[in-house]
Structure 1
Amino acid sequence: MTVPNYSCVNSNNVAGFIGDHHSTTTIPIAQLLGVYGYAQLHRYIKRITSASQLGRSLYDEHGEFPYHYIITNWVFLSNKSAFRNIVGNFTEWAPDGQQLIIDSHLAIWRNKDNQIPRSQCSENCLPGYRKVLRPGTQICCYDCVLCSEGEISNRSDSENCIVCPSDKWSNEKRDRCIPKSVEFLSYLDAVAAVLSILSILLCLVTVVILLIFIVFRDTPIVKANNKNLSFLLLVSIMLSFLCVFLFLGRPEDVTCMLRQTAFGVLFSLAVSCILSKTIMIYIVFKAAKPGSSWANWVSVKVSNSIVLLCSSIQVIINISWLAISPPFQELDMHSYQGKIIVQCNEGSVIAFYCVLGYMGLLAALSFIIAFLARTLPDSFNEAKYITFSMLVFCSVWIAMIPAYLSTKGKNMVAVEIFAIVASSAGLVGCIFIPKCYVILFRQELNTKTYLLGSRIKGLTK
């Protein structure tokens, strides 16, 4: 096949090849031809100098001629004409820092304010947001996503959000970490105010009942139901209403220890008194029959011993609790977003449930014995009232446990306070209000003759 303008017949040897103007194409060809020993004339050409350039080569190290570029700003007018506006130049052989010269003030931009256009397709992300790149696009195209709760970005175009410290939370704009709000059942809380007023009123009612029993302590109805136990029971209930205030306010290590131990001991004392009264009612009724061996057990020492024994067990449980793993103040920073819950950690959960369990055992025994003795004669009818009081007491605390476990923070404290107030009110209402009614308004029933008559009727049945 004939190639135009080329013949290798009757010709001298090839001296070399003249490459393309650009090194990007000639260098690979030169490397390939070098294998066969052919020169590349480009390396000779780049040694040519010019007197006007003070001996500087006209070509760079790659054998390419360095250009002097003029930077032009083309301006298109509304009449479809155009003109060019020279705004700078690029001189490759100039000293560093002077190669590129642009006067941006000479440029005319095609927008209303003649401002330099931005080479991005998205607006800058404000503080509080982070950049999220759009899939399959350039890095200048992104979306601005609001930082998650608990995170902030405090500068524009942030790529990542900063997590706030554990004791702080992000504000609404997500540009600043602010201290978390501290939550506990304070005295100024609406629920706490209602419970406090209710506790004070019920405590005053208990004090009035105690005064009534003291004034009428020599009347048959007070004597028939062991007035000393009644006084002790009323005092323990009154203190139970007042111990509510240990649950209010900011929890501290001291108040955390006092609130549970005071509550446990006072309630156990009250239920021990009720258990002792119930047992003594049953013993007195059995001892009233002729020749009964129960007469030896009818003694103040027996009733006092029951109260002392039952209360001492609860005291030992509480002392062991405080010695091994006492309650303490705890800061819960994770249950609620943006809040620090100041609460009491019970220390030993087992000890806490032992306190509740023992109190429940005393209440259950009192309920069972009172229920069995509810049919006794009218002079011993306190067993019926004790039955109702223990029914209310047990119902309140059984309902309280799931509610207590399902809540946190100040709601948990409010549930426990409500259980204390409701159960204490149940004891006062069921046991003492009927007696006060008889003492104050039915004095004809508060006589020895009436009580003995009811007793004789009951024994002859």
Structure 2
Amino acid sequence: MRFIFCAVLIVLMFPWVVVASLNDSSRCILDFPRSESYYQDGDLIIGGVITVHLMRKNFLSDFTTVPFAFNTVCFVPHFMSYQNLLAFVFAIQEINRDPELLPNITLGFHLNENCLQENRANIGALSILSGGTHTVPNYQCDQVHKLVAIVDGISSKVSLLLARLYGMYKIPQIKYAAMDPVLSDRISFPTSYRTVPNENVQYKAIVDLIKHFGWSWVGILASDNESGLQVSQYLHRELSKENSCVAFLELIPYRDILDEKRRTRIVQSLRDPSINVFIVYGDREYMLTLQIILYMFPIPGKVWIISTQWDVSAGFDYFFLNFFPFNGSLALSMRDNHIPGFQDFILGLNPDMYPNDIFLRYIWFEFFYCNIEIHPNDTMRCTGNERVENSSVPEFYKIFSPYSYSVYTAVFAVAHALHNMYLHKGITREDVKGINAWEINKYMKNINFTNGAGENVHFDENGDFSAGFDIISWIVYANESLDGIKVGSYDPQAISRELIINDSIVRWNPVFTKIPMSRCSEICAPGFRKSARQGALSCCYDCIPCPDGEIASEADMDSCTKCPEDQWHNAKRNMCVHKVVTYLSYGEPLGMSLAFISFLLFLLSGFILALFIKKKDTPIVKANNRDLSFILLLSLKMCFLCSLIFIGHPLRVTCILRQTVFGISFSVSVSSILAKTVTVVIAFKAVKPGSHLRKFLGNKFSNSVVLFCSLLQIVICVSWLGTSPPFPRYNMEDEVGKIVAECNEGSLLGFYIVLGYMGFLAFVSFLIAFLARNLPDVFNEAKYITFSMLVFCSVWISFIP
């Protein structure tokens, strides 16, 4: 980089290298190339390289030749750029009038025009270094070199060139417009300062602006230079952190629109209908190329976010406003702080008061269409009574350049550094001859003062100034007038909100009826989540419904949220609702049917019991073991009633009674059948002579069997309830989207022992009945022992549901 800089500098300075062979008296009288300058003498001189004029260029011709000539003439003075020069002069006057600031020492200035051209800027810089009216490289034409600092503020490319040039002499340079992060490198630029923020702050403001409006699919057009590459890399990295994507990156060529391949690629990228927002970075020269491309290939209905590197208000001397492609754009601008007394100073402008201001005659001609200088037969001579408020450009004293405040602050920063040096060293007016510009850097680093606008001014360790930006909405009205509306601000020092935007006053392009959208994919509605497309950027995705049990309560969610266990998604899958609690209730057809069957069977058992009681003295009832029959019918009635405990919402009491009451009741039923079966077998075997089974005949034995078998089940149930009894619970796993109210059996071992014991009794009963199947027909119990199995099955049919 240093080699390239030296090569460029040698080429620019080649016409003057012969100066080294001349003697001192002849060096300052050579007719070297000059640049237009405005000079005012003083004890100390502050130099300035400031843009006043703009070059009017033909659409195509200026882009097919290299406009490189030292005597190039600037044609178009721009009033807002001229305000920067006036802010410099105004600041010098304010300092010289202040008895507390640099007392007995007056400041002068040496201002040079650069016309936004690198060669003219270089000539002006060398002219200021020479200190005379001629440009003599590395030579001082004045007897006393009184230059103490330089204020400049043109494009970053030229600012870097001047920073290296002045850096060789250790002269403090205060940039009022260059925000390139490279200038914060204190190793390469130890004497460079600026009254504008570091560009990184602007990048953060752009990213926050994109985030504020919800734009996730943006294009970037950056100048084809080192700064443009840095900007694009930073924006790409920071936007990805905010879930936004860069749809394309195109580099704007410098004064070259004839590259058809490059131009076509830019136009195709701009015409993508899914991209409505473009970030534009580049100074005026690059923006001119972009404007010409847009003039040749109109791209309507887009939102442009313009960086501060291009002053929008200074860029419309090429086209009619009805072809202005940036209508409805948002631009970042330096904060518009009010300079006290500056408006009155501008209103008091008069060529007679400032005869050395060579730029004023151009401005005066633009304002009043008259000539200040006297020419023979001049019919357009000014009368001398012209006043600024009556000019053809009334905005001149109403709308101020965004950089006027930066120039004003830069000049005061130098003055305060000199004042601190004045106090520290005790310098008198006679001592100013011995001041070296490099000494001032020590005091520039430590300045801390409040300027006339009430803002605290100080530089950080990198020479940067902490400041914010205004957000401007540019709109072109039907009468082709341009207006910039301040719609927000960005303050990097704010504690709560750095970016503040008033959406209601933003004026979008007439194509849009509301805040424009710029997205690669449509917004995923609530209830849907993003699904990445294979091989595409993260901003390009499909929308798929949330899976069962999950919701997306907001739009554009990356993932769905799982509902709590007791909740389920609604039909739209955008909110969780409580699950429906389900159980076998009496209101349902199944519950109602089972209850009816159980009650019917209960009545049937009751009817048979009543019949047996009525016929208890008949031989058939007596022969059928009357007591066992009563016990069997009563236990069957209890079994049928137990089915009703399984219907309805489970409660702690019902959960405890369900299995235990039924287990005991059913055990009594099966025990009765077992006793009846055993009695029939014993009765058949006891008829043989000498049988010892006769002693087991009678009600006492059969009742003992029923009692013993039933007591075993009671002991099992009591043990179960004593260790881990059943309890009600909500089952959320078995049925999707529902909660099943059921009873947890507590100890599964106890539950299975109860069921197993009932099965054991039934098996023993069935086994004995099977052994008695060949008994004579006169034993009704043996012949119809299957009746007990029928009862067994009927009870379980009512139990299983």
Instruction: Give the TM-score, by structure 2 length.
Output: 0.42
Taking a change above 3 Å as real, the CA distance of residues 180 and 40 of structure 1, as seen in their structure-2 partners, is: same
TM-superposition CA deviations, 1:238-271 (whole Å, max 9, x none):
1111111111101111111101011110111011
2:199 equivalent in structure 1: none
* Alignment counterpart, residue 474 of structure 2, candidates 103, 126, 133: 103
**Given that residues 371 and 383 in structure 1 are in contact (C-alpha distance below 8 angstroms), is that contact kept between their aligned partners in structure 2?**
no
1:194 equivalent in structure 2: 593
**TM alignment of 1:35-434, pairs within 5 A:** 40-41=164-165, 43=167, 62=183, 83-84=323-324, 87=327, 91-92=333-334, 93-94=402-403, 99-104=470-475, 106=477, 109=509, 111=511, 117-390=516-789, 392=790, 418-419=798-799
**Given that residues 520 and 539 in structure 2 are in contact (C-alpha distance below 8 angstroms), is that contact kept between their aligned partners in structure 1?**
yes
How far does residue 311 in structure 1 lie from its aligned partner after superposition?
Answer: 0.8
Q: Distance in 2 between matches of 1:325 and 1:261?
A: 13
SS at match of 2:743: strand
Q: Which amino acid aligns with 1:273?
A: S
How far does residue 90 in structure 1 lie from its aligned partner after superposition?
Answer: 5.7
How far does residue 140 in structure 1 lie from its aligned partner after superposition?
Answer: 3.5
Q: Distance in 1 between matches of 2:20 and 2:687?
A: 152
Taking a change above 3 Å as real, the CA distance of residues 283 and 225 of structure 1, as seen in their structure-2 partners, is: same
How far does residue 143 in structure 1 lie from its aligned partner after superposition?
Answer: 2.1
Q: Distance in 1 between matches of 2:611 and 2:179?
A: 117
Taking a change above 3 Å as real, the CA distance of residues 105 and 289 of structure 1, as seen in their structure-2 partners, is: farther
TM-superposition CA deviations, 1:16-51 (whole Å, max 9, x none):
9xxxx9767997x99xxxxxxxx93153799799xx
SS at match of 1:379: coil
1:408 equivalent in structure 2: none
TM-superposition CA deviations, 1:202-261 (whole Å, max 9, x none):
111111111111122122211111111111101110111111111110111111110101
**Given that residues 155 and 178 in structure 2 are in contact (C-alpha distance below 8 angstroms), is that contact kept between their aligned partners in structure 1?**
no
Deviates more, 1:89-98 or 1:266-275: 89-98
SS at match of 1:230: helix
| Long gaps (5+) in structure 2 | 1-6, 22-136, 139-153, 184-191, 197-282, 301-319, 335-401, 406-466, 478-506
Q: Which amino acid aligns with 2:591?
A: A
User: How many pairs align?
Assistant: 377
**Given that residues 371 and 384 in structure 1 are in contact (C-alpha distance below 8 angstroms), is that contact kept between their aligned partners in structure 2?**
no
Q: Distance in 2 between matches of 1:105 and 1:129?
A: 41
Taking a change above 3 Å as real, the CA distance of residues 43 and 317 of structure 1, as seen in their structure-2 partners, is: same
Q: Which amino acid aligns with 1:263?
A: F
**Given that residues 244 and 420 in structure 1 are in contact (C-alpha distance below 8 angstroms), is that contact kept between their aligned partners in structure 2?**
no
SS at match of 1:169: strand
Q: Distance in 1 between matches of 2:673 and 2:728?
A: 34
**Given that residues 48 and 58 in structure 1 are in contact (C-alpha distance below 8 angstroms), is that contact kept between their aligned partners in structure 2?**
no
**Given that residues 773 and 783 in structure 2 are in contact (C-alpha distance below 8 angstroms), is that contact kept between their aligned partners in structure 1?**
yes
Backbone CA RMSD of aligned residues: 4.2
Deviates more, 1:187-196 or 1:68-77: 68-77
**TM alignment of 1:19-34, pairs within 5 A:** none
Q: Distance in 2 between matches of 1:47 and 1:59?
A: 17
Q: Which amino acid aligns with 1:326?
A: P
1:457 equivalent in structure 2: none
Instruction: Give the TM-score, by structure 1 length.
Output: 0.69
Q: Distance in 1 between matches of 2:622 and 2:529?
A: 80
Taking a change above 3 Å as real, the CA distance of residues 198 and 141 of structure 1, as seen in their structure-2 partners, is: same
1:436 equivalent in structure 2: none
Q: Distance in 1 between matches of 2:675 and 2:720?
A: 26
How far does residue 100 in structure 1 lie from its aligned partner after superposition?
Answer: 4.4
**Given that residues 640 and 798 in structure 2 are in contact (C-alpha distance below 8 angstroms), is that contact kept between their aligned partners in structure 1?**
no
**Given that residues 175 and 193 in structure 2 are in contact (C-alpha distance below 8 angstroms), is that contact kept between their aligned partners in structure 1?**
no
**Given that residues 279 and 369 in structure 1 are in contact (C-alpha distance below 8 angstroms), is that contact kept between their aligned partners in structure 2?**
yes
How far does residue 272 in structure 1 lie from its aligned partner after superposition?
Answer: 0.7
**Given that residues 328 and 346 in structure 1 are in contact (C-alpha distance below 8 angstroms), is that contact kept between their aligned partners in structure 2?**
yes
**Given that residues 528 and 552 in structure 2 are in contact (C-alpha distance below 8 angstroms), is that contact kept between their aligned partners in structure 1?**
yes
Q: Alignment identity in percent? A: 43
Q: Distance in 1 between matches of 2:794 and 2:656?
A: 23
Q: Which amino acid aligns with 1:190?
A: P
1:405 equivalent in structure 2: none
Q: Distance in 2 between matches of 1:58 and 1:324?
A: 86
Q: Distance in 1 between matches of 2:679 and 2:548?
A: 63
Q: Distance in 2 between matches of 1:366 and 1:207?
A: 24
1:36 equivalent in structure 2: none
Q: Distance in 2 between matches of 1:389 and 1:58?
A: 106
Q: Distance in 2 between matches of 1:311 and 1:57?
A: 104
Q: Which amino acid aligns with 1:101?
A: I
More helix by share: 1
Q: Distance in 1 between matches of 2:673 and 2:706?
A: 9
| Long gaps (5+) in structure 1 | 31-38, 50-54, 398-415, 422-461
Taking a change above 3 Å as real, the CA distance of residues 420 and 386 of structure 1, as seen in their structure-2 partners, is: farther
How far does residue 312 in structure 1 lie from its aligned partner after superposition?
Answer: 0.7
SS at match of 2:324: strand
TM-superposition CA deviations, 1:144-167 (whole Å, max 9, x none):
222222222222222232222221
Taking a change above 3 Å as real, the CA distance of residues 64 and 86 of structure 1, as seen in their structure-2 partners, is: farther
Q: Distance in 1 between matches of 2:475 and 2:797?
A: 75
Q: Which amino acid aligns with 1:307?
A: V
